[in-house]
Amino acid sequence: MLTFPACKINIGLRITEKRSDGFHNLESCFYPVRWGDILEIIPAPEFRFTDSGLSIPGSLSHNLCVKAYNLLKADFELPPVQMHLHKIVPIGAGLGGGSADAAFTLKLLNDQFRLQLSIAQLEDYARLLGSDCAFFIQNRPLYCTGKGDVFSEIGVSLSGYHILLIYPNLAISTAEAYAGVKPRKTDVSLHDQLVAPIDHWHTTIHNDFEDSLFPAYPILGQIKQQLYEAGAVYASMSGSGSTVYGIFNAPILIPNQFSTYRVWEGKL
């Protein structure tokens, strides 16, 4: 069976406190984007994982697809499989591409081998693999709190808008990005800001990681500025970076200044 693990952007990201387990509580709208990898899983005489496309750092046993398979195998009689991942979404990009691979592996194995796991059970398995993995089980716009794995509804729809994602060939480690952040709480609700019209977002909605990462990597702030100059209704860094995205009213020709970066343009 084939599946297409996609990615996400964060619209607004507040890091509100450091938790006793070392992780951080956050508030953010996670929004799915169609830029994705390609994953095939077929039954095979023995377990095998192969990949192509972008090179994935780390050993095979640390690959999130392999971890997802092993997690289910510990609880179910799964046959051996051959998995092939064609990696397209940049890594260390703030797009949750690896997390999507993990969640889509769980969903594919559930369907392929009729494990009959519910959405809630799949989300519980996904939580064991990474903080933003569980989002990709439902893979629809959600307001996320806790570690990014507690969900509530949000009335945000960007259908009809177009998005330009700019990955400036710079991988940023999520753990390092969190280490640079000063958590803070504010009185204004991000949820209320998100349900206001999109042309208000420019002045209200902020990604807290920009405060420490834009001074460290000035190119990121420059790209955001260039996206506004190109006509974006809203522009921001996604997650812990380094991808910066712009949301546009209509399809956009990719401006020349982005020609050396990895760029994706598409409908939301």
Cα–Cα distance measured from residue 110 to residue 115, given in angstroms and rounded to the nearest whole number:
5
- CA dist 45 → 40, 80, 82, 186, 218 (Å): 16, 6, 8, 55, 51
Residue 103 interacting with ligand ADP (CB under 6 A): no
Percent composition of the chain: helix, strand, coil (DSSP 3-state, to 5): 30, 25, 40
Residue 174 interacting with ligand ADP (CB under 6 A): yes
- Known catalytic residue at 8: yes
Cα–Cα distance measured from residue 131 to residue 28, given in angstroms and rounded to the nearest whole number:
13
The response to whether 100 counts as a known ligand-binding position is: yes
- Beta strands across the sheet bearing 48-53: 2-3, 38-43, 81-87, 48-53
Q: Can you say how many angstroms the Cα of residue 38 is from the centroid of all Cα atoms in its chain?
A: 16
3-state secondary structure of 99: helix
Residue 224 binding result from ligand ADP, ligand SUD, none, given CB thresholds of 5 to 8 Å by partner type: none
Nearer to ligand SUD (CB atom), residue 81 or residue 92? 92
Task: Tell which positions 211-240 bind ligand ADP, by CB under 6 A.
Answer: 239-240
- Known catalytic residue at 132: yes
Site string for ligand SUD, 6-35 (x = CB under 6 A): ----x------------xx-x-x-------
Site residues (vs ligand SUD, CB under 6 A): 10, 23-24, 26, 28, 94-96, 99, 130-132, 147-148, 174-175, 178, 239-240
Catalytic residues: 8, 132
Binding residues (CB under 6 A) for ligand ADP: these are: 56-58, 62-65, 85, 87, 91-99, 101, 174, 239-240
